[in-house]
């Protein structure tokens, strides 16, 4: 078997298309994307590509948002984003390849040190293929060149940050539960998420980007959708579980618990809990009560 066996399978599939092509992969590199488009016959006028972009993955080099620019120059092609995508599907009319290979050089065997990958042929009408396609259709956003440039800019800033978190890949490995908000002013988050960060100092911006990388939210959310997604992520934290269960969370107790396992110094733990309080006030329905230093309680203040 040659190292480009997967690419030969893909080529054969794409060359057989007469009406439509669907390319679905979490990681897509622009050179392989262009090669795939060049393989598709010119009479095929409907090319749908679905992928996912996260700032951390772009910074790690596993995905190129610049495919949006390639698609914009090809009238046949449009790109959509599905943030929880992990499936790899390649469809030409009624034929379909399903397996492990992304649209990257190492996955398709377009380099000598290729990954060991698998693609199996089935029909596009297979119930599981239809299930995935229907799920994708219900949860995608358009991958515009403007969005691509925004995420590339944020990825380059994250790459320059020595304290940035490792690559975040949804569905692979446990998400850390020891993350706590770093930035003190949560109102900055959506501004930076939308690219409105040019008046924010470099050090502060780095912290906001680290928080956004840990949150790992889909691109293109409205401000309301963004707040809802952040609130859901906060409610996954053990400290917030305690707030939910007991109806209150004290600064002193939370600081002591974070310090006990050695993950944080006392000063770091106190600041982390204070930041969490600011985020909960901004994104959730809690309020501060001055018992000792303070206590966070659920619900709005009734006046």
147-151, long-range: CB < 8 A, 24+ apart = 147/53, 147/65, 147/68, 147/219, 147/220, 148/53, 148/65, 148/66, 148/67, 148/68, 148/69, 149/65, 150/194, 150/195, 150/219, 151/53, 151/55, 151/58, 151/65, 151/219
Could you tell me the two tokens for 108? 């398709």
Integer Cα distance of 158 and 176 in angstroms: 19
Asked whether the predicted pLDDT for residue 157 surpasses 70, the reply is: yes
Question: Quick one: pLDDT at residue 271?
Answer: 87
Question: Quick one: pLDDT at residue 301?
Answer: 46
Global confidence as pTM = 0.82
What is the per-residue pLDDT across 109-131, written as a single tens digit (0 to 9) for each? 998 888 999 999 999 999 999 99
The residue-averaged pLDDT of 7-35 equals: 97
Question: Quick one: pLDDT at residue 285?
Answer: 73
DSSP secondary structure string for all residues of 35-84: HHHHHS-TT--EEEEEE---HHHHHHTS--TTHHHHHHT-TTEEEEE-TT
Burial class (CB in 10 A: 0-12, 13-18, 19+), 87: buried
The residue-averaged pLDDT of 208-221 equals: 91
Q: Assign domain 5-146 to a CATH class.
A: alpha beta
Percentage of the chain exceeding pLDDT 70: 85
pLDDT mean across residues, the chain? 86
Asked whether the predicted pLDDT for residue 247 surpasses 80, the reply is: no
Asked whether the predicted pLDDT for residue 236 surpasses 50, the reply is: yes
Question: Quick one: pLDDT at residue 149?
Answer: 95
What is the per-residue pLDDT across 62-110, written as a single tens digit (0 to 9) for each? 999 999 999 999 999 999 999 999 999 999 999 999 999 999 999 999 9
The residues of the chain that CATH labels 3.30.870.10 are 5-146
CA nearest 219: which of 68, 102, 82, 88? 82
Whether residue 21 contacts residue 44, with contact meaning beta carbons closer than 8 Å, is answered with yes
Question: Quick one: pLDDT at residue 173?
Answer: 47
Span of 2-16, 20-34, 169-183, 225-239 with lowest mean pLDDT: 169-183
What is the per-residue pLDDT across 168-181, written as a single tens digit (0 to 9) for each? 454 444 444 478 89
Question: Quick one: pLDDT at residue 162?
Answer: 65
Residue burial 251-266, b: 16+ Cβ < 10 Å; e: rest: bebbbeebbeeeebee
Asked whether the predicted pLDDT for residue 303 surpasses 90, the reply is: no
Asked whether the predicted pLDDT for residue 15 surpasses 80, the reply is: yes
Integer Cα distance of 262 and 237 in angstroms: 18
Whether residue 27 contacts residue 107, with contact meaning beta carbons closer than 8 Å, is answered with yes
pLDDT-based confidence at residue 296 (cuts at 50, 70, 90): low
Instruction: Return the ∠ at Cα 84 (arms to 82 and 86), rounded to 5°.
Output: 95
Instruction: Return the ∠ at Cα 121 (arms to 115 and 125), rounded to 5°.
Output: 135
Question: Quick one: pLDDT at residue 256?
Answer: 82
């Amino acid at each position: 078997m040659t190292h480009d066996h997967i690419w030969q399978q893909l080529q054969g599939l794409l060359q057989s298309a007469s009406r439509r092509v669907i390319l679905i992969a979490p990681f897509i590199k622009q050179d392989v994307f262009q090669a795939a488009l060049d393989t598709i016959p010119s009479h095929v006028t409907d090319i749908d590509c679905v992928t996912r972009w996260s700032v951390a993955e772009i910074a790690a080099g596993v995905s190129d948002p610049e495919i949006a620019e390639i698609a914009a120059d090809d009238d046949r092609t449009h790109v959509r984003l599905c943030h929880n995508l992990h499936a790899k599907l390649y469809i030409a009319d009624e034929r379909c390849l399903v397996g492990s290979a992304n649209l990257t050089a190492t996955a398709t065997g377009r380099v000598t040190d290729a990954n060991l990958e698998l693609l199996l042929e089935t029909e596009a009408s297979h119930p599981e293929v239809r299930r995935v396609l229907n799920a994708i259709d219900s949860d995608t956003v358009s991958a515009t060149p403007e969005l691509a440039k925004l995420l590339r800019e944020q990825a380059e800033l994250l790459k320059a940050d020595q304290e940035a978190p490792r690559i975040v890949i949804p569905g692979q490995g446990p998400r850390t539960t020891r993350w706590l908000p770093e930035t003190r002013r949560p109102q900055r988050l959506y501004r930076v998420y939308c690219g409105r960060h040019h008046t924010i100092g470099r050090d502060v911006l780095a912290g906001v980007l680290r928080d956004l990388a840990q949150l790992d939210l889909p691109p293109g959310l409205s401000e309301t959708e963004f707040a809802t997604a952040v609130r859901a992520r906060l409610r996954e934290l053990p400290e917030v579980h305690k707030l939910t269960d007991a109806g209150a969370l004290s600064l002193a107790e939370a600081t002591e618990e974070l310090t006990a396992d050695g993950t944080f110094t006392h000063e770091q733990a106190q600041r982390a809990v204070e930041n969490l309080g600011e985020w909960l006030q901004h994104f959730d329905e809690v309020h501060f009560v001055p018992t000792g230093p303070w206590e966070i309680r659920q619900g709005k203040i009734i006046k």
